[in-house]
Structure 1
Amino acid sequence: MSYEFEVLKQRFDEGELSISEYLPFPIKESWLRCKNNALDMKGGLQYERLRKNRFAELKYDSRLLIESSKNHLQRLHDSVADAGWSILLTDANCNTLHVMRSNKIVNDDLFSAFDSGVVLNERNVGTTAMSCSIHSKRFTRVYGNEHYNNVLTGLNCAALPILSPKGIAIGSINVTNENPLNDPTVFFMLKACAKNIQKQLIYSMPETLVIEMTLSSGQFGELTNLIIGVGPDTSIVGCNEAAQRFLFNNCPVNDQKFQSIFDTPFSDVLNLGVRQQKIFKLRATSGVFLTAKVVQPFTQNQLSNSVSTQSIPDHIEHQVDPVYFGDPNISKSIDRGRKVIGRLPVILLGESGVGKEVSAQHLHLESQCSGKFISINCASIPESLIESELFGYQGGAFTGADKKGYKGRIAEAHNGTLFLDEIGDMPLVMQSRLLRVLETRKVNPLGSNIEKEVSFQLICATNIDLAKLVESGGFRKDLYYRIKGYSINLLPLRSRVDKIGIADVILRKDCLNKSMLDEDVKRLIENYDWPGNIRELRNALLYADTINEGDDTITLEELPEEYHTLFVPLPESPQACENKKSLGKVDIEMQKLISTALAQCKGNVSEAAKWLGMSRATLYRKLPANYAKSVSS
């Protein structure tokens, strides 16, 4: 860098902020943000690395971006690596997701941050091409002394944001070289890579018809072409950057209807583009004609399906789905439920805490219906309010009613899924009205004579034996057979095959600090009855994650105290018993001392450990055999 730029940087560091006007816009804004955050230009750097489980969670959250980028980044790396360029893929917060280093690196210390899981936001490292491109949503170069932190002046970087189908910056691609090469070819390839990733993200949207348009009768597949994604309700659910500029004047895509952007009827798209597979004309509301082609009809799910099953974080030993049931019989039943839900009502049976609502939400998402998932707990709504809550009411229908009226939860589930939890607790009067809705598919709000048609998928759940409730007169027989289309029995946690797999999924999805279980905790999970089922297990693991007293492995001592006395040590092998004969008086005296401490503390292992001045884990290992037996009984 020139002497003049070094003087500029020194004056800015001394507080002359107005001199930043001489900087390119994205870099100027970044320097001002860094100064505002009290970053030291001359300070050293210690790169922050995400904890293993937090990085695994981050990768899982960014799985679609990672999968959509993989092939395009590889092609870019193959083209530019020999010229000394290394590649970084980050999320919107500048956390490094994927790294592809050049084999031409000379000063390896400068590239110490080129590792997955490193945090490279401005608060940590100052100005970078990634942060500038994400903030400005445009291509940015940051060379040498343009980096706010002097440690990074040996790097020369360029970056582009990756835009979601809605036009939001969700990540960035960065290329870095030790040499200050101003190579337009590399920058063009970087821009093409970012555009291709955005295009892939649009293709990955489930249940989306994708249309590609040219401004003339030119070639399809060109990066300058306009691409839009249209949902089943004809709303535009996403587009590429070119379409956002041309059709939406750079404004966000907010599910505008196809008819608000084009004069051409959407039926022409389905007839010409899908059924006849022809190239056709679209007339924008501005009067401009575009040449168009349907490149993906509604029936293709492509990448979105493969990502959901292939991108489980590496630290999970069990290859499981995001919703994991820990039992093949349950998984089989849920899979069948996914097939029948559009045609038959589904009822979920099981104890409290087995995950009935989670299973219902999973079935709703798998059905890919266009409406909402509406959940109603029939046991939690007061009997006096359940009618208005379910069926809605006309404005002024009763004292205290909202003047605007209320749509009602059943009407909200139109074209979606209605989930009735604890349906066995629904009052008999309401059962009668619900039966009529299920038979007629019409809702009559309170105070209104006008019936509204509704269409929804029905999922019910209960922990009560409805057949016995029917016999006792507590549940209508005709309603019972109306909702009993396909039954799924969700086994209690104690009866499931893979309890450790379920615990692993809880660690991945819900825990911030812990990612593994030690062997004692695994044995406790396997042998304990878990009367509160998955809800109880989740609470126990979250407790350990919250107190976080050790490394990333949950130990027995980090679980709530009521679980400590439930742990039973493994029985000793014959060889261990033989060895024990020669332990001598010291161990015998220790066991006597432990027995005395346990008696003194009335069997409380934690108190006994404190009394003896040892850890609970040590006391467990030395626990006398007769006391272990009493714990297990």
Structure 2
Amino acid sequence: MAFLSERDGGSLASNAQVIELIDPGTEGHLEFIRRAHQRSTAAGLDTTSKVDMAPPPSSALKELIEKNNRLKSCALPFMETLYEQVVNTHSMVLLTDASGTIIESLGDDDFLVKAQKVALAPGVTWSEEHKGTNAIGTALIEELPTVVHGQDHFLDVNRFLTCSAAPIFDPNGVAIGVLDVTGDYRSYHRHTMGLVRMSAQMIENHLFNSSFQDAIIVQFHQRGEFLGSVVEGAAAFSPAGKFLAANRAAMVQFGMSANALKSHTFSSLFGMPLSALIDHYRTCNPIPLILCLHNGNQVTARASLGSVGRGRIFDSVGLVKNHVEPSVSQQPNQVSLKSNTTCQKSRHLSSLKYLNTGDPQVAKIIEKVGKVIDKDIPILILGETGTGKEILAQAIHNDSPRADKPFVAVNCASIPETLIESELFGYEDGAFTGAKKKGSQGRILQANGGTLFLDEIGDMPISLQARLLRVLQERVVTPLGSQKSIPVNLQVICATHRNLRDQIATGHFREDLYYRLHGLVVRIPALRERTDLQKIIHRILENESHNPRIRVSPEVMKAFTTHAWPGNIRQLTNILRTASVMTDEAETIEWDHLPDDFLDEWHALRLDNKTRQADQAPAQPEENLHTAPASAPVASTRPQFSVRSNFSMQTKIAAPPRNNAPAFPSKSRASAFEVQVHHRPGATPKGSGLDQTFSKFREGRFDSWTHSQKLANREELAETLPQAPRFREDSYDTRAYDARAQGYLGSRQATARAPVDNPINLDDLESRAIQDALETCRGNVSAAARMLGISRNTIYRRLNSK
């Protein structure tokens, strides 16, 4: 068996290997002790050797403690906590330096007498050379947690002891001491080693944090709940991104040793520039982030900026310098550049690896982009609004050699046509009326050396397209009012939701510019086309929610995964951000937490899909719709609801379609069902709404829920909407049938006690009333609720109980 150092991150001993080594009686442990005994024999010791009991001079002990004062001060709080766990077990807690010399001890009084017999006291060295095989000395040589129990000790005099020790490493991976619990061998407990290992690691983490107070420290783990625990990884970086040090847990997750990590940077380890992390923590809430390691593993991380967060910066050799604020005398365009959010490095913590969330289409895009990312090839990103075109552009910039240069985003559709030329190309003093006194640099020059992202390039005025083409071809820009052309070196990424070929055909886009931009063309799939929606939802919640444990309920998740998402990721992000706020202290997003406009949209799109499916079904002859016998089975094309509730229903009115309304199909066809109603002979239908509807049932004239009348406007619709029905108790023959108790309405023959065949259930009636109201209101749940006289939540609950 190969025995591995616990600090050797590149070939780190697995936890299972360590357990085998420290568990007395196992094959691995026996081999481990046998090798230690061989070293003791080679050192000239035998089992009967005398123990050196001479105490060190007080001056030497004082010097030893002062030399290791930092280790002792860091370890003492954890030693006291560890001692509280083993008190009254005939044991003591020991701390040694790198040579195995004891510098601090805490122990039970009844065991201290025995400890003095074998010199378990400050100033005494317990290396293998002096004391043979023992937990302290052997742990220092093997650099592994070590248990030496009873007869495992090399010297006979020490075989009444049981010792559990773990080495302590500094941030550079050098063993600087040992933490040990020693006691009577009869009080051995295998869990003692776990306590010692955990305490040693806590000491290491404390040393690590105190050693790099001015550095940027990233704490991370593959499981977010382990952040802040003893097993979290911690890596320190300079403000320039250079790797400085890492704790053992970080080496395990990186899969590299301390020496191997020295050649890395933050960007090479986490797949994104350090500047993006710094910008995030300076401008956003310090919530945990999802980062991607160089080996592809995703981790939850948080960071402390050290001196960067306190306003200090490092020079090229790592010395701290005072941070100088921008002077008032700076040019206005320089100040505005720093304050303009479009010219700052994006706060999106994105890299290409970070964007790969499992969808094969996105993975293919990332693969293509990765091949041209360091080449001078223009990139054109196509996709619907809200699919994340700018996020992809930012990720390309972050992974490119230009990552430390500006990323300037320009939305060509949002800048007025009269201003876009000066915004892009800049201008000289006096170039036009109202121009700034010292002119303006322009977005293209601001992006010099970095990346220029032209969003919605299809909306750029055609008059400016020729000037942009010259910039791309000749790599020079001429500000307005200037005769001087300024060379520029930049990467150009464009994006649009339009079909540029159609724009060319209609004369709105230059063909020569199209082919100049047509380097690598990628299309981001719409959210409804992606297979990684659940992963995207979880990531958005991790980045946007105030509660890191918040999740989406299964019912809401099902609705999300079946929704069309016309607004794509932008819409999903806003909905989740709002819903997470509405949850207050709850940890699950339910229907009641979702915005009303999304619920209306979801039901409208769902209704549209159902109607299209119904329209594609074979049509039933019209005469059958009106002459179907009462015993014919009722078509069940609408959801059935198990929840019953007393609510009023009103007559459905066909609303006129708006000119700008979505193309929902017209709902004017007759419903293929009949309703049988009890009615006391001679009773006159009163009121409106369902009273009139039931009157049609009684007279056999009912053929549709929908009036054929077409209303001219919304005001006429509001005036025509009937009031809630008023039922009079004497309108029904309660002796013949109690409709509320039995759950359905019978036919007119029920008065004569005639049998009723296939009566319609009230659930069916309520279900269809809700569905017809939604059709009438074109999916507007609020309007449907007002029409029916019920709350919107009642409609949601009934539709969701499908």
**TM-score normalized by the length of structure 2:** 0.40
Higher RCO structure (Cα 8 Å, ≥6 apart): 1
**TM-score normalized by the length of structure 1:** 0.49
Which protein shows a greater Rg? 2
